[in-house]
């Protein structure tokens, strides 16, 4: 083969290589969403202003974006939008689950059916209503404050899996509560459930809460928190003189809670909190421990059960006002360290009633009392013991009965039903 023929052959091979390589290179660049803006500008093919683009899956709405400026490249699959006016995302049934989506930029890939939003993200996650079973109107935008609002730096939506992911500087707002996830948040749009898997901090007017995980059930108005739960009820000092001094003092101090699991439910405008696992509640020097607990805000009712332990340095806090007792035994007991164990403890704030039931054991350094039930009526400053009461004092004084009442106001004592007493008569040393 002569030199000219060889040269033409080489040139032909090089041209063939270039003709194949350039389209491959261009296609790979188009699929890369991380390219710089000037590269996109160079490939603009179509511009649309003040318009809406809509995506479908199996003939049902998947997403809808309204923007000031929409444009495409040479790829028929890629769209970009800037200055998003509004956006909506839908579940597999075509039901609107995310609305009021705003962002500086959105990129859509209709081939992979993904949508990515960037900068100053705002959106509202809707509850799907189920109060009308006849039409699809059972679902839709929720006008009240129970919708969940979010802000973030980045949002990615995958139409095929119906999953939405939030990234960086995320804030979740529900009513007056703000939640700050430490890392990304995953949302299952079909189930309408948000998953916070890498820790969170929560702040409201009354509480501060932190933990390892949180699951928000948007349709059902409840959330689950788990792993190293720490909660603080903020101090709320008050000058309301209709409250007694003891109540004002208690409100002026913060209360702390640790546990392994917490469930918060808002139903019919009532807040209810359930807690489980290694519960410790502290206020000042008073401590309550147990296995599970309940707080109902509407009823102003607290309950804790399972291996309940209550400890305090004294019982002075039970009194509505300072009192000089004539009975020296009562005066001494009020100032002594106390530990009470039981199967269950409840506090009805409206009725001002504390109740402990099941294997109740009251312990101070000089006495031990066991019974089946203990009731303290705060308004009367009255302590009632019921069922198989056994009192041992100073190891040599014993009292058994089935019903006993001690009134701290008039320092009266009453025992009834099956009374048995034992005591030792001390000898006079002079005799």
Q: What is the CATH number of the domain that holds 409?
A: 2.60.450
The pair of structure tokens assigned to 296 is 């109902």
In this predicted structure, the answer to whether residue 251 has a pLDDT above a threshold of 80 is no
The predicted model gives 330-356 an average pLDDT of: 93
Pairwise CA distance, residues 154 & 104, whole Å = 10
Q: Which has more pLDDT, 37 or 65?
A: 65
Provide the 3-class DSSP secondary structure of residue 226.
strand
Q: Look over the chain and give the mean of its residue pLDDT values, rounded to a whole number.
A: 83
Instruction: Answer yes or no: do 191 and 42 share one domain.
Output: yes
Q: What is the CATH number of the domain that holds 181?
A: 2.60.450.10
Query: What does the pLDDT look like over 273-295, one tens digit per residue?
Result: 999 999 999 998 999 999 999 99
Give the domain-ending residue among 180, 198, 216. Answer: 198
pLDDT at 232: 94
Instruction: Answer yes or no: do 15 and 87 share one domain.
Output: no
Instruction: Answer yes or no: do 1 and 102 share one domain.
Output: no
Neighbours of 45 (CB within 10 A): 11
Q: Which has more pLDDT, 114 or 22?
A: 114
Instruction: Answer yes or no: do 11 and 71 share one domain.
Output: no
Cross-strand pairs, 251? none
Q: Which has more pLDDT, 67 or 24?
A: 67
Instruction: Answer yes or no: do 23 and 80 share one domain.
Output: no
Question: Does residue 263 sit within a domain?
Answer: no
Query: What does the pLDDT look like over 144-200, one tens digit per residue?
Result: 456 899 999 999 999 889 999 999 999 999 888 999 999 999 999 999 999 999 999
DSSP state letters, 230-296: EEEEPP-----TTS-HHHHHHHTS-EEEEEEEEEEEEETTEEEEEEEEEEEEEETTEEEEEEEEEEE
The pair of structure tokens assigned to 211 is 């933990």
Domains of the chain: total: 3
pLDDT at 146: 66
In this predicted structure, the answer to whether residue 8 has a pLDDT above a threshold of 60 is no
- Exposed / middle / buried, residue 62 (Cβ in 10 Å: 0-12, 13-18, 19+): buried
Instruction: Answer yes or no: do 41 and 22 share one domain.
Output: no
Give the domain-ending residue among 172, 198, 224. Answer: 198
Distant-in-sequence contacts of 64-69, Cβ < 8 A, 24+ apart: 64/88, 64/90, 65/101, 65/106, 65/108, 65/115, 67/106
- Measured over the CA atoms of residue 143, residue 148, residue 150 and residue 154, the dihedral's sign is negative
In this predicted structure, the answer to whether residue 137 has a pLDDT above a threshold of 50 is no
Instruction: Answer yes or no: do 42 and 157 share one domain.
Output: yes
Instruction: Answer yes or no: do 375 and 423 share one domain.
Output: yes
Question: Does residue 303 sit within a domain?
Answer: no
The predicted model gives 12-31 an average pLDDT of: 40
Question: Does residue 193 sit within a domain?
Answer: yes
The predicted model gives 249-271 an average pLDDT of: 87
Instruction: Answer yes or no: do 125 and 9 share one domain.
Output: no
User: Are 306 and 284 in contact, with CB atoms under 8 Å apart?
Assistant: no
Give the domain-ending residue among 141, 164, 198. Answer: 198
In this predicted structure, the answer to whether residue 5 has a pLDDT above a threshold of 60 is no
The predicted model gives 305-324 an average pLDDT of: 88
User: Are 393 and 366 in contact, with CB atoms under 8 Å apart?
Assistant: yes
Instruction: Answer yes or no: do 81 and 155 share one domain.
Output: yes
pLDDT band at 134 (very low <50, low <70, confident <90, very high): very low
Question: Does residue 166 sit within a domain?
Answer: yes
Instruction: Answer yes or no: do 39 and 7 share one domain.
Output: no
Residue among 215, 212, 164 nearest 187 (CA)? 164
Instruction: Answer yes or no: do 375 and 431 share one domain.
Output: yes
CA distance readout (Å), 387 to 304, 318, 418: 21, 23, 10
Pairwise CA distance, residues 145 & 271, whole Å = 14
Question: Does residue 261 sit within a domain?
Answer: no
pLDDT at 244: 61
Pairwise CA distance, residues 166 & 152, whole Å = 7
Pairwise CA distance, residues 163 & 145, whole Å = 24
Helix, strand, coil shares of the chain as percentages rounded to 5? 15, 55, 30
CA distance readout (Å), 374 to 118, 173, 255: 60, 42, 24
Question: Does residue 100 sit within a domain?
Answer: yes
Residue among 152, 161, 160, 159 nearest 124 (CA)? 152
Pairwise CA distance, residues 61 & 88, whole Å = 10
Question: Does residue 58 sit within a domain?
Answer: yes
Query: What is the extent of the structural domain holding 25?
Result: 1-31
Pairwise CA distance, residues 358 & 343, whole Å = 5
Question: Does residue 169 sit within a domain?
Answer: yes
């Amino acid at each position: 083969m002569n030199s000219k023929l060889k040269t033409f052959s080489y040139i032909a091979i090089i041209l063939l290589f270039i003709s194949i390589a350039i389209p491959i290179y261009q296609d790979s660049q188009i699929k890369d969403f991380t390219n710089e803006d000037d590269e996109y500008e160079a490939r603009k093919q179509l511009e649309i202003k003040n318009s809406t683009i809509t995506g479908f899956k199996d003939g049902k709405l998947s997403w809808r974006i309204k923007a000031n400026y929409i444009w495409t490249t040479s790829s028929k699959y890629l769209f970009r939008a800037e200055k998003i006016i509004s956006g909506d995302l839908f579940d597999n049934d075509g039901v609107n689950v995310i609305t009021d989506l705003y962002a500086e930029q959105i990129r859509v890939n209709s081939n992979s059916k993904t949508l990515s939003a960037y900068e100053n993200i705002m959106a509202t996650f809707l509850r799907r209503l189920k109060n009308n079973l006849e039409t699809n109107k059972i679902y839709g935008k929720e006008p009240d404050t129970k919708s969940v609002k979010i802000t973030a730096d980045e949002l990615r939506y995958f139409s095929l899996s119906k999953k939405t992911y939030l990234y960086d500087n995320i804030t979740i707002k529900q009513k007056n509560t703000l939640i700050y996830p430490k890392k990304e948040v995953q949302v299952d749009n079909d189930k309408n459930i948000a998953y916070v898997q890498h820790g969170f901090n929560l702040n409201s007017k009354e509480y501060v809460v932190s933990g390892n995980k949180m699951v928000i059930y948007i349709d059902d108005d409840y959330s689950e928190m788990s792993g190293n739960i720490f909660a603080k009820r903020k101090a709320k000092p008050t000058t309301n003189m209709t409250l007694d001094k003891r109540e004002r003092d208690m409100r002026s101090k913060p209360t702390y809670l640790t546990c392994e699991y917490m469930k918060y439910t808002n139903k019919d405008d009532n807040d209810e909190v359930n807690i489980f696992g290694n519960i410790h509640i502290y206020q000042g020097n008073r401590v309550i421990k147990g296995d599970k607990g309940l707080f109902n805000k509407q009823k102003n009712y607290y309950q804790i059960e399972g291996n309940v332990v209550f400890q305090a340095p004294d019982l002075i806090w039970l009194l509505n006002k300072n009192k000089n007792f004539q009975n020296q035994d009562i005066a001494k007991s009020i100032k002594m360290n106390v530990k009470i164990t039981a199967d269950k403890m409840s506090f009805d704030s409206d009725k001002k009633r504390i109740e402990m039931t099941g294997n109740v054991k009251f312990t101070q350094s000089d006495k031990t009392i066991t019974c089946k039930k203990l009731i303290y009526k705060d308004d009367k400053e009255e302590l009632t013991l019921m069922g198989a009461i056994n009192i041992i004092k100073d190891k040599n004084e014993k009292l058994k009965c089935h019903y006993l009442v001690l009134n701290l106001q008039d320092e009266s004592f009453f025992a009834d039903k099956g009374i048995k007493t034992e005591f030792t008569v001390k000898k006079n040393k002079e005799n």
